[in-house]
Structure 1
Amino acid sequence: MAHAPLLRTNTAPVFQSTLSGTGGLQQDSMNNAPRTSQLSGSTAFAGSSSSLNSLSSGATVVPGQNGGPVIATTNIINQKADASRSLYQICVSLKQRLAQVPNFEPFLEQLDPTDPVDPLWNLFRSGYPLLVIYNSLQPPEPLRVDDPNASEAKKSKIAIFKFVQACMKELQVPPTESFVITDLMGNDTSGFVKVTQVVNYVLDLAEQRGLLLQQHLYPEDEPMAAPGGSQMSYRDHIVKELVDTERKYVQDLENLHDLKKSLEQKGAIPGDIVHQIFLNINAILDFQRRFLIRVETTNSMPKVAQRWGAPFCFYEDAFDIYQPFIANQRKAAQIANQVFDKIQLSEHPVAADFNTLDGFLLKPMQRLVKYPLLLKASFDSIPCPAPPTDDDDPQDLHKKSEDAETRNDLMSGCEAAERVLHKANEAVNRDLLDEALEELINRVDDWKSHKVESFGKLLLHGVYGVITGKSDQEKDYEIYLFECILLCCKEASPNKSKDKKDKSRTSGPRLRNRNTKLQLKGRIFMTNVTDIVSLSKPGSHSVQIWWKGDPGVENFTIKFLNEEMMKKWAVGLETQRKENAPRLSTSPDGIAADFAWTRDHAGGLENPYLQQDDDDDEDYGPATAPAQFPVPSNSTVGSMPPIGDWGQRAFTGRHRKGTASTIPTADSSSAPQPTDDG
């Protein structure tokens, strides 16, 4: 397969004796323009409905002087992608150079022409090709393996060792710029990149000494000029952007990974701090190089054979490797900011200032956001083929078939990329919720005999205005929705809040004070929630929660600032209501069964929702429905006896969907007896 011509720039290792320790990259000062990395809310990034143009690569800008135009800086984060730095192009170029090595042609005949990376990697693993490459320098003593009794695997390792040893001893390659046997024999692309750098360095020396064969291009190998006057289509531009930005992204990951290595080598900050900032960047870089190889392989195919959705479907599960890094990004930025003065001692261009480092830490999530946008734009660029007709000639039918297949491929890829992004957002949400739960545990002094580990996972939380059933006065509560329970908490303060008498609120809920202790003011078990009613109108977005209380039905209303948040809570509450809803045993005519034990003992059951507190006006009281909400039409709710003790019992363990272990049934031999409650 013919590959596009490329210009090989600097693929040799960067040695301290000739270039700076940062790979020759010039470190430029950068402005301190603000850049936000702290995630607000519980979602990191929106879905693919965002504008493609709004997700640029994050160039760093400096405000102009005296209100002048904004000026982009010459910073490493703005560095253009260098195609020759991708592993795919490195291997394509290296194969071309190896054709000039004397006696190397038999090895090249073993390579698969459609895959420039893995076959070359496996070839070098055999060891002998490295000896031929080194011997092209015509050393006084050519390298060879002189152990006929050794196994082939051992001979390969001996050959690799001799090559590395000769490069360091005879060619003065520093150990830090060389590679070890495990770099070549392992599966980490970062290790193989080191191998290609050393091999290219040896070839550079052979070329300088005039020891390589002269290569003559055959007519079919010469680059073909684009047809005169031809223009790229919209889809061609999208494909070009996908390939170019993918190369740029991998280059950014390499720069971030290089900073990590520099910090580890110089010991500027402790190793555990390095890990907390960069986490699994090594694995992400390795995966992304492999993904780029697939992208560039697709790009090398004829246009009609390109299937851009296939790489995203193939690697969908492998993208899970991003979740820990993206969930940790917010904390990583905070830690990096705290020790940034020490990070700057590395004199690495990625650490030019904190904004630059922060920008690199944000790159992975930004890339996942952009994938669905690129695929959707490519999908939209292909017109939907019309149904085949009897008048279609074979060429038209073939074209319609190709368009339909391409659209299906892109749609599948876009859906896979959307799922990857969704899982990444879920990882961020989970990290934020775990942090909120830890904070809640530390802030509440009196859990009133409840065990937090029995609540299930924390699903939603926030500070919202609440109107209880006994008053139309809105007060702020910190609300936490768990799988099994809904908690309403209020800041514990020795003095009454002055805004209690203010019934005309317009500014929304107050900001959270994370250092203030909390009091439990309301606890509703999801097993007892009967209805979730949402109402949205201009300027008012509310969710009303109805539950079985003492006596009858009680309710309260949560006020939200926007419809999106209201819907999120309404869906979350309704989902948990259904998950925790007990199955009531019914008689054949559909009327709920009423058992003697229930009738005899229901009257004395304690209501678990009533809070004994000095501040009585903040606790939930008798149910009175606000005028804007109708009373639920559940006829079975009003006829249910008080279930306070059931609520307590249902909460002793995690409630599983479909179980009704706390509700006695007609055919249950283990129905509670009077003595059981004691």
Structure 2
Amino acid sequence: SLYHTCCSVLNRLSAVEGMMSYLEMDTTALNIVSSEPSTPTLTNGDPLSKLWAMARLGSPLCTIFNVLSPETPLHIDADPTHSTLNTCKKSIYHFLVGCRNQLAFTEEDVFTISDLYQDDTNGFVKVVNTISKLLLLLEERGIISAHSSHRNSDPNAPKDTRDKVILELIETERKYVQDMELLQNYMRELQSQNIVSSDCVHYLFGNLNSLVDFQRRFLFQLEEIVEKSPEEQRVGYLFTQMEDAFAVYEPYCANYFSAQYLVVQEAPKLQKLADILNPIYELPSILIKPIQRICKYPLLLGQLLKSTSKDWAYYQETEQALEAIRRVADKVNETQRQHENVQAVEELKRRVCDLEDLAIETYGHLLLQDKMIVSINESDRELHCFLFEKTLLMCKYIKESKNILTKGTTLSIKKKRRGSLQSKCTIYASRILGVHNKSTPGLWSLLVEYKEREVEQFSLRFRNEEQLKKWEATFLKIKVTHKANVPNTHLLNTAHSPIGSGGNQQQWDDLPQLPISSRTPYHNLHIVRPTTSTPRLGESHAQQHSPIDRTMPSSPGSVKVKLSYHDGIYVIVVPQEASFLELMERVERKIRLVANLKPKEMLRLKYQDEDGDHITINSDEDVQMAFESRGIHNTVNLFVS
């Protein structure tokens, strides 16, 4: 890890002539030129901060370079702590030039001045690598003794359960950082070789650089903590201090699902770097690791708390850390869920076949969505439910028609299949009166009561208790938010079967269909036929008392069409071979007369197919499909909105 690398470098530097004076400087003196990394630390003068600040002085780097006896030694300031920032950068510049020209270092072997001075471990890793390469040259030339590591003979082997938890925490953290660095190198190769566009790299990896920088700092301090005796290990304090910094996970995790789709889409191009990470199985497994890691921390801290004696001085810090990391995980999950919901709404707009009848933009943010069994009047049906801030939308999956396609019906059926969802019911969230948990052993369900003309209800059946609790909590939150007045009308009919008809035992597809637009609230689920209507031309005074004209005969080769519009039913007769334009002309002439519509108001026609679905009529083929649904009385029912 970076911690042990820095410790090793500092240890080896102590053997370099002229370096001891820099190593013995305290952190305050070393940081006159520039500040330490911003990540909270538990102690002053940790190895990373010490090495970083010392390198920024410039003179220590020149000292190491001169020990190699180059042809042109570098100038060294007598007291670098009194040097200005520009003087230090000048020394670093000459050091980098000397490494390239006199030591034949490549561009990959050296860092840049910005790598050293920016507050980012991604750049500092390059600095450490350059210094390590210089030390290796000193060892090869026999100027200093070769370094040997004794980490394998660990005197602090785990002695109890707590030690094992600490060991698991630190070892999995090291492996995790290594994986993230591998992913980072993969990203850099994609960029340097221009395998995919810069936008594609951005959407694939998000804020990976910031995430790796944070995780290195976190691991560094964790390494420093676990080297202390168990009772002095303030692991909990580290997590609580880092709680706000863990926010770096939120954008990465929110972007993950977009990234995994992009990996599949760009797999042919990504195969060019399959020797680093195979895009089929290795790349997806590493991309998901940050999500897995943030979910793992609460489990590890829970085990640590359980195995720590309550008498220890820092026990409460571990308790606070567990609460803090749970808050972090909740925030990450919430951010990820919100991002997924935004995508789900866009997917809903693409899949729903009657989008023009919905006003999704007015529903508020999507809170939850899932497939579940919805029960009304002992009739069960699987629907896809979308719970928005202001609306509950229920959609059904459209079944493919089993009818044999003919030349005249192909276009109409293709239109029906354009989307895979069809809205069945829309309920205002403000009309929800109560949500009751009706679960029994092995069966998880909620009974939802809402206000129509009377109080109605339906049940939602869930897969497990966790799903139920999530929906129950969200429903209750909505109920509190919309605790204002509840008018009688709350259902938005989308020209489909609404649920909750008071006392009506009809099945889902047999519920009454109201000929109104999806944005018009109605007061009753039953069609109410008034005793009077607007007078129409060609009707007697007696006929004006009923909106249903039952006396109009249909001539041979013609079809009797009943038009359901608002609270009335009107009749016209059209030829069996009527075109779409001809039908619309007659419908408009009839409806505009009785409804006093303005010229700019457009009418829409729908018919009910054999599945009970309402299909919009937009073409001659649609008209013929609608006419095929007429019964033995040669009558077609159309719905006007």
Partner of residue 232, structure 2: 305
Q: Residue 237 of structure 1: which of 154, 164, 179 is its match?
A: 164
Give the conservation status (yes or no) of the 8 Å contact 1:486–1:526: yes
Partner of residue 88, structure 2: 156
Q: For residues 345 and 147 of structure 2, what CA distance do their matches in structure 1 show? A: 66
Q: For residues 379 and 312 of structure 1, what CA distance do their matches in structure 2 show? A: 13
Q: CA deviation at 1:120?
A: 1.6
Q: Relative to structure 1, is the Cα distance of residues 448 and 554 closer, same or farther in structure 2, using a 3 angstrom cutoff?
A: farther
Q: Relative to structure 1, is the Cα distance of residues 612 and 580 closer, same or farther in structure 2, using a 3 angstrom cutoff?
A: closer
Partner of 2:86: helix, strand, or coil?
A: helix
Partner of residue 410, structure 2: none
Partner of 2:281: helix, strand, or coil?
A: helix
Q: How does 1:394-409 map to 2 (within 5 A)?
A: 400=311, 403=312, 405-409=313-317
For structure 1, the residue ranges without an aligned partner over 5 or more in a row are 1-85, 385-399, 498-512, 585-601, 627-642, 648-678
Partner of residue 547, structure 1: 450
Is 2:47 the partner of 1:116?
A: yes
Q: CA deviation at 1:164?
A: 0.8
Partner of residue 502, structure 2: 623
Is 2:243 the partner of 1:316?
A: yes
Q: Residue 56 of structure 2: which of 122, 125, 130 is its match?
A: 125
Q: CA deviation at 1:577?
A: 1.0
Partner of residue 611, structure 1: 493
Partner of 1:516: helix, strand, or coil?
A: coil
Q: CA deviation at 1:448?
A: 6.7
Partner of 2:314: helix, strand, or coil?
A: helix
Q: CA deviation at 1:625?
A: 9.6
Q: Relative to structure 1, is the Cα distance of residues 225 and 441 closer, same or farther in structure 2, using a 3 angstrom cutoff?
A: closer
> Residue 554 of structure 1 aligns to which amino acid in structure 2?
E
Report 1 or 2 for greater relative contact order, CA contacts < 8 Å, sequence distance ≥ 6.
1
Q: For residues 224 and 569 of structure 1, what CA distance do their matches in structure 2 show? A: 53
Partner of residue 37, structure 1: none
Q: CA deviation at 1:134?
A: 0.5
Q: CA deviation at 1:172?
A: 1.4
Partner of 1:531: helix, strand, or coil?
A: strand
Give the conservation status (yes or no) of the 8 Å contact 1:111–1:120: no
Give the conservation status (yes or no) of the 8 Å contact 1:147–1:155: no
Q: CA deviation at 1:224?
A: 10
> Residue 180 of structure 2 aligns to which amino acid in structure 1?
L
For structure 2, the residue ranges without an aligned partner over 5 or more in a row are 28-43, 404-415, 506-519, 525-641
Q: Relative to structure 1, is the Cα distance of residues 316 and 621 closer, same or farther in structure 2, using a 3 angstrom cutoff?
A: closer
Q: For residues 407 and 472 of structure 1, what CA distance do their matches in structure 2 show? A: 54
Q: Relative to structure 1, is the Cα distance of residues 531 and 347 closer, same or farther in structure 2, using a 3 angstrom cutoff?
A: closer
> Residue 251 of structure 2 aligns to which amino acid in structure 1?
P
> Residue 377 of structure 1 aligns to which amino acid in structure 2?
Q
Is 2:189 the partner of 1:257?
A: no
Which of structures 1 and 2 has the bigger CA Rg? 2
More strand by share: 2
Partner of 2:372: helix, strand, or coil?
A: strand
Partner of residue 167, structure 1: 99
Partner of residue 533, structure 1: 436
Q: CA deviation at 1:446?
A: 4.4
Q: Residue 110 of structure 2: which of 174, 178, 194 is its match?
A: 178
Partner of residue 382, structure 2: 476
Give the conservation status (yes or no) of the 8 Å contact 1:542–1:557: yes
Aligned CA-pair RMSD: 3.5
Q: For residues 386 and 14 of structure 2, what CA distance do their matches in structure 1 show? A: 66
Partner of residue 329, structure 2: 421
Q: Relative to structure 1, is the Cα distance of residues 111 and 265 closer, same or farther in structure 2, using a 3 angstrom cutoff?
A: farther
> Residue 136 of structure 1 aligns to which amino acid in structure 2?
V
Q: CA deviation at 1:324?
A: 1.8
Give the conservation status (yes or no) of the 8 Å contact 1:528–1:581: no
Q: CA deviation at 1:214?
A: 9.8
Q: CA deviation at 1:296?
A: 0.9
Q: CA deviation at 1:121?
A: 0.5
Give the conservation status (yes or no) of the 8 Å contact 1:100–1:214: no
Give the conservation status (yes or no) of the 8 Å contact 2:170–2:222: yes
Give the conservation status (yes or no) of the 8 Å contact 1:465–1:477: yes
Q: Relative to structure 1, is the Cα distance of residues 103 and 92 closer, same or farther in structure 2, using a 3 angstrom cutoff?
A: same
Is 2:464 the partner of 1:562?
A: yes
Partner of 2:469: helix, strand, or coil?
A: helix
Q: For residues 364 and 514 of structure 1, what CA distance do their matches in structure 2 show? A: 39
Q: CA deviation at 1:646?
A: 11
Deviations, residues 575-623 of structure 1 (Å, cap 9, x unaligned): 1011111169xxxxxxxxxxxxxxxxx9xx8x4526374x6xx323532
Give the conservation status (yes or no) of the 8 Å contact 2:62–2:76: no
Give the conservation status (yes or no) of the 8 Å contact 1:102–1:213: no
Partner of 2:394: helix, strand, or coil?
A: strand
Partner of 1:520: helix, strand, or coil?
A: strand
Deviations, residues 262-305 of structure 1 (Å, cap 9, x unaligned): 11112222222222211111111100000011101111223321
Q: For residues 341 and 116 of structure 1, what CA distance do their matches in structure 2 show? A: 44
Give the conservation status (yes or no) of the 8 Å contact 2:400–2:417: no
Deviations, residues 325-367 of structure 1 (Å, cap 9, x unaligned): 2222233222223323322323543x14621222211211221
Is 2:213 the partner of 1:286?
A: yes
Q: How does 1:377-526 map to 2 (within 5 A)?
A: 377-384=303-310, 400=311, 403=312, 405-444=313-352, 446=354, 451-468=359-376, 471-491=377-397, 516-526=419-429
> Residue 2 of structure 2 aligns to which amino acid in structure 1?
L
Q: For residues 209 and 151 of structure 2, what CA distance do their matches in structure 1 show? A: 38
> Residue 359 of structure 1 aligns to which amino acid in structure 2?
S
- The count of aligned residue pairs is 480
Q: Relative to structure 1, is the Cα distance of residues 540 and 140 closer, same or farther in structure 2, using a 3 angstrom cutoff?
A: closer
Give the conservation status (yes or no) of the 8 Å contact 2:452–2:523: no
Partner of residue 358, structure 1: 284
Give the conservation status (yes or no) of the 8 Å contact 1:549–1:644: no
> Residue 469 of structure 2 aligns to which amino acid in structure 1?
K
Give the conservation status (yes or no) of the 8 Å contact 1:127–1:160: yes
> Residue 388 of structure 2 aligns to which amino acid in structure 1?
F
Q: CA deviation at 1:490?
A: 2.9
Q: For residues 523 and 218 of structure 2, what CA distance do their matches in structure 1 show? A: 54
Give the conservation status (yes or no) of the 8 Å contact 1:266–1:346: no
Deviations, residues 105-152 of structure 1 (Å, cap 9, x unaligned): 11111145851111221111111111111011111221117999x972
Q: Residue 7 of structure 2: which of 58, 67, 92 is its match?
A: 92
> Residue 532 of structure 1 aligns to which amino acid in structure 2?
V
Q: For residues 358 and 170 of structure 1, what CA distance do their matches in structure 2 show? A: 44
Give the conservation status (yes or no) of the 8 Å contact 2:392–2:428: yes
Q: For residues 561 and 365 of structure 1, what CA distance do their matches in structure 2 show? A: 24
Question: TM-score, normalised on structure 1?
Answer: 0.65
Q: CA deviation at 1:223?
A: 12
Deviations, residues 527-546 of structure 1 (Å, cap 9, x unaligned): 22111122112454322222
Q: For residues 90 and 53 of structure 2, what CA distance do their matches in structure 1 show? A: 16
Q: For residues 612 and 182 of structure 1, what CA distance do their matches in structure 2 show? A: 60
Partner of 1:91: helix, strand, or coil?
A: helix
> Residue 448 of structure 2 aligns to which amino acid in structure 1?
I
Give the conservation status (yes or no) of the 8 Å contact 1:145–1:158: no
Q: For residues 252 and 500 of structure 2, what CA distance do their matches in structure 1 show? A: 46
Q: Relative to structure 1, is the Cα distance of residues 108 and 155 closer, same or farther in structure 2, using a 3 angstrom cutoff?
A: same
Q: Relative to structure 1, is the Cα distance of residues 437 and 169 closer, same or farther in structure 2, using a 3 angstrom cutoff?
A: same
Q: CA deviation at 1:440?
A: 1.6
Deviations, residues 27-67 of structure 1 (Å, cap 9, x unaligned): xxxxxxxxxxxxxxxxxxxxxxxxxxxxxxxxxxxxxxxxx
Q: For residues 437 and 285 of structure 1, what CA distance do their matches in structure 2 show? A: 32
> Residue 60 of structure 2 aligns to which amino acid in structure 1?
P
Q: Relative to structure 1, is the Cα distance of residues 442 and 215 closer, same or farther in structure 2, using a 3 angstrom cutoff?
A: closer
Give the conservation status (yes or no) of the 8 Å contact 1:259–1:348: no
Q: Relative to structure 1, is the Cα distance of residues 583 and 413 closer, same or farther in structure 2, using a 3 angstrom cutoff?
A: same
Partner of 1:487: helix, strand, or coil?
A: strand
Q: For residues 265 and 275 of structure 1, what CA distance do their matches in structure 2 show? A: 14
Q: Relative to structure 1, is the Cα distance of residues 625 and 568 closer, same or farther in structure 2, using a 3 angstrom cutoff?
A: farther
Partner of residue 514, structure 2: none
Q: For residues 176 and 556 of structure 1, what CA distance do their matches in structure 2 show? A: 66
Deviations, residues 174-203 of structure 1 (Å, cap 9, x unaligned): 113321110001111011111111111112
